[in-house]
Chains A and B, each alone.
Chain A
């Protein structure tokens, strides 16, 4: 950005330069009423940008940035002094210009009162624009030099899946899904009913959670898609169904399945004429991602994987041939899976085995692929320990973990989470898996994990959380309400002794069922986090994130 600013100044100082970057310079030579017209044009352009920014996706694309640059630079020309005033002091880019694209505007001291007024108006507009501008546009491409010293104000747009109670947000989502339908129709065929479906909520939602979606497993999102779905690739449709029915569950499994499906998509992709692979492929992926998030809200690990893919795609140089580019992308995905998931679990297992001693009684909760891997490895390395598996309704994932451990030959005990206080005096260590690690040190994991950590703390049993670094996420959260997932409420219904008490819960209007999926554990309950970078305390998560960002 700094370079383009320099270029701008040069072009202004060489007044006669007639570069094609806008009529602004030519017009700027004349003063008076021409400038007011120019100003009106600028205002119009700013309003257009403003509207466009509201519709943007979180992840910026090069295309948008390039479009914005000329439009921002054009109005800034008349602002910067006319060529007659050669004493154009380029005002240093103010701190607010860390907003990447607004940086081009430079208010310059002028003699005319008119100019001062205009500048004042500009300032107010700029501040209002900043307030509404999305921080998503300033991710990796914003000024890298400014980052060490300046703390960038992050104004993030709220993800859609936590704004269910806002009718405006829902309308926006519906419009976005329709737009994605249109973008898929490139060939002029009149396809009816093909679009990314908008799933509707099911059942009575507890008022504390009215801002979240609650879907039923009996209404899969694919009911509204016609066959064949030309907008959405069939492997993505299959993946979405597997997510929504709970066939693929678990953070690592979901990410790996997502990456494999995207590999297939890239394989089948062919660049349409007059389009560049790096831009078009990213656009193609957007409706898939919307569809998947309709099936089941994206997990933090999936979000990071998608960001990585999009970055890799947009970094493909334009002269690269299609086959070569596709091959490169497939390699990138393979290496991501290998490094971040498979090798990471080997590294974590190596660290964790130092913490398991002979005679230990280890407590695990639910089914975490990583924790199971650690225990199986430790057992192979001849450590003598026994495991207590704690499980909870309604998912009963612990039974899967139990099966895997028993198959390996590990001695296991099995209890439900309500018997935790009974079993905990026997336990020497607790190993927990995580879904994501938040930037304020909180651990987001399956619901019930925080309870286990709480009771373990009360009995003075050490709690160790195992988590790969690709699950670290920049969000912060302090309670389990603001951002969570509501599962199908019918799962809580159970038949015992021939009686099903909650059978007709829908008919009773003051009865609600709440089936939470995640909860957050405060860092004071967690003693150690074992990651592929080593063993760190919970509060070092933002350090790791910073290190990762600098690396990238």
Chain B
């Protein structure tokens, strides 16, 4: 029967996506960039919307929430997955509100008056059935996908506004966003890039080879030399894994040192991050913030006898507080870290912060 086939097909796809997430999370960061993950997540959510059985918005939201929880549990450090789920939930709420005819603003504002007068009425709001809701939601998700396609280009278009000629720019590790940003600026301007290799994964080496192929003067330095060369650097441009709700970053290990060195020399720190990396989490949870990989990257098994007597740590991420960041460049333009909370309220509904 076609219905059952669709169901099994859907669950198969979800399972394969989950196993991909689990697999690519280990080792040297993600094997594919966050943009790809975001796109795949959105595509999967669109498929769920199209093929799953639901009759009203509330049920759809439940299904999506359930799948979203499973996906984030598979790879907690890959926050783009959760972000996309929240975006889709917001889309559903908006479409529902539009179908109902009420404007979006009144739904959002949780004023004291509303809390007292309406009581628990917001709960049943999603039980009404609208025939065109499915089509509207799928169309909105398609728009989201097109937006995702264009994020890198939107960011790199702003490159010439921020880089002048004969600059010395420092970056760390490998970020596809920063790569595109610098390549775009290099078409018109001549500048020098210093890449910190970011041990133990040494993704900086790949970044340097890619940049130097575009005829950009690149220098690779070990992580230990970051402070030593910082006095000659004009700007620091980095990418990040996640932008947190307070404007801080969860970025590659070593980024906090880089940010402190930049602050000491009063060098501006620019973060290139597309909007789908913005996550409503705060950096308070000590145990869940850090992700560790096998310590053999740090202390290989060839060291032999001392291995059993030594603790070796290999964290993947670093927390960078918002005071050290000068500017966020995203696909919707440049923002200060203090504005991030506002952007977040536009992207996600407060009730979706906890999936």
Contact = CB atoms under 8 A, between A and B. Distances in A.
B299 interface: yes
B264 interface: yes
A406 B227 contact: no
A421 interface: yes
Given A206-B219, A418-B199, A447 B312 contact: no
Contact of B310 (A412, A419, A450): A412
B299 A414 contact: yes
Given A412-B310, A510-B215, A422 B253 contact: yes
Contacts of B228: 447, 450-451, 480, 516, 519-520
A417 B255 CA distance: 11
A511 B193 CA distance: 10
A465 B280 CA distance: 43
Contact of B312 (A415, A448, A451, A512): A415
Interface residues of B, number: 52
Contacts of B197: 393, 492
Contact of A508 (B199, B213, B222, B256): B213
A50 interface: no
A458 B208 CA distance: 30
Q: Which of B201, B208, B213: most chain A Cβ within 10 A?
A: B208
Contacts of B299: 399, 414
Interface in B256-297: 256-257, 260-261, 264, 290
A446 B224 CA distance: 9
B205 to A, nearest CB: 4
B299 to A, nearest CB: 6
A417 to B, nearest CB: 5
Interface in B275-334: 290, 298-299, 303, 306, 309-315, 318-319
A406 B209 contact: no
B202 to A, nearest CB: 6
A393 B222 contact: yes
Secondary structure of the A side of the interface? Answer: mixed
Interface in A354-369: none
Interface string B231-258: 1100000000000000000001110110
Interface in A92-125: none
A208 B318 contact: no
Contact of B220 (A208, A479, A514, A519): A514
A415 B313 contact: yes
Contacts of A479: 231
Contacts of B205: 494, 501-502
A417 B310 contact: no
B145 interface: no
A392 B227 CA distance: 14
Given A501-B206, A508-B209, A414 B220 contact: no
Contact of B222 (A392, A481, A497): A392
A416 B311 contact: no
Nearest to B252: A418
Interface of B: 28, 197-202, 205-206, 208-209, 212-213, 215-229, 231-232, 252-254, 256-257, 260-261, 264, 290, 298-299, 303, 306, 309-315, 318-319
Given A208-B229, A418-B199, A511-B212, 8 more contacts: A412-B311, A416-B298, A423-B313, A479-B231, A492-B222, A511-B208, A512-B218, A514-B219
Interface of A: 206, 208, 392-394, 399, 402-403, 406, 412-423, 446-448, 450-451, 454-455, 458, 479-481, 492, 494, 496-497, 501-502, 505, 508, 510-516, 519-520
6 contacts: A392-B223, A399-B303, A414-B310, A422-B318, A497-B28, A501-B202
